Amino acid sequence: MSGVVIFDSKYGDIFVEADQSVLEAMEADDSGVEMLSGGGSDGSVRASIKFNDALQSLRNYVSSIQDVVQELELKPKEVAIEVGVTLKGSAGFVIAKAGAETSMKVTLKWEP
C-alpha cells in the first residue's frame, strides 16, 4: 500500500509517492519530520519540513563531487551527475542504495 507525502515549497505543494513503511516512519518520528496532519484514510500526510530541506543530503552529495572535480589537475569541460534518491522518513531524501543497477553515476567529459 502506498500514499502521498505532501511537501510545501516556494512554488506550491509537491506530492511524493511513498510506500506505507515511509508514511508510518514519518508519523512515528519525533526528529522534526512530524506530520502536520495524520495519515488519514486517503493515505496522504503533510510533512512539517519544506521540500528543499528534505533534499539536503542531495545538496551535500553534489557539493562533495564538485569539490573533487575542482581538485583535479586537468578540469573536465562537462560534468554530469545522475543520482537515484529514495524518501526515507525523517532522513528526507537519501541516495538510493546500489544494487544490481547503479543509483549513482558521475560522467566527466574532456575535450582537446
pLDDT of residue 28 exceeding 70, the answer is: no
C-alpha to C-alpha distance for 32 and 38, rounded to whole angstroms? 15
Q: With the C-alpha atoms ordered 13, 14, 20, 26, is the resulting torsion angle positive or negative?
A: negative
Identify the pLDDT of residue 70.
94
Identify the pLDDT of residue 74.
93
C-alpha to C-alpha distance for 112 and 110, rounded to whole angstroms? 7
Provide the whole-model pTM. 0.63
pLDDT digits (tens, 9 = 90+) for 74-90: 999 999 988 877 776 66
Q: What residue ranges do the domains of the chain occupy?
A: 2-50, 56-109
Higher pLDDT, 13 or 36: 13
Cell of 58: 542531495
pLDDT digits (tens, 9 = 90+) for 33-62: 444 445 544 567 777 778 888 888 888 888
C-alpha to C-alpha distance for 46 and 33, rounded to whole angstroms? 10
Q: What confidence tier does 110 reach under pLDDT thresholds 50, 70, 90?
A: very high
Question: Which of helix, strand or coil describes residue 69?
Answer: helix
- Which residues have C-beta within 8 Å of that of residue 96, sequence separation ≥ 6? 83, 84, 85, 86, 103
C-alpha to C-alpha distance for 29 and 78, rounded to whole angstroms? 41
Q: Is 89 left (phi over 0), alpha (psi -120 to 50) or beta?
A: left
Mean pLDDT (the chain, rounded): 76
Question: pLDDT exceeding 90 applies to what percent of the chain?
Answer: 21
Identify the pLDDT of residue 43.
65
* Beta strands 85-87 and 44-50, pairing class: unpaired
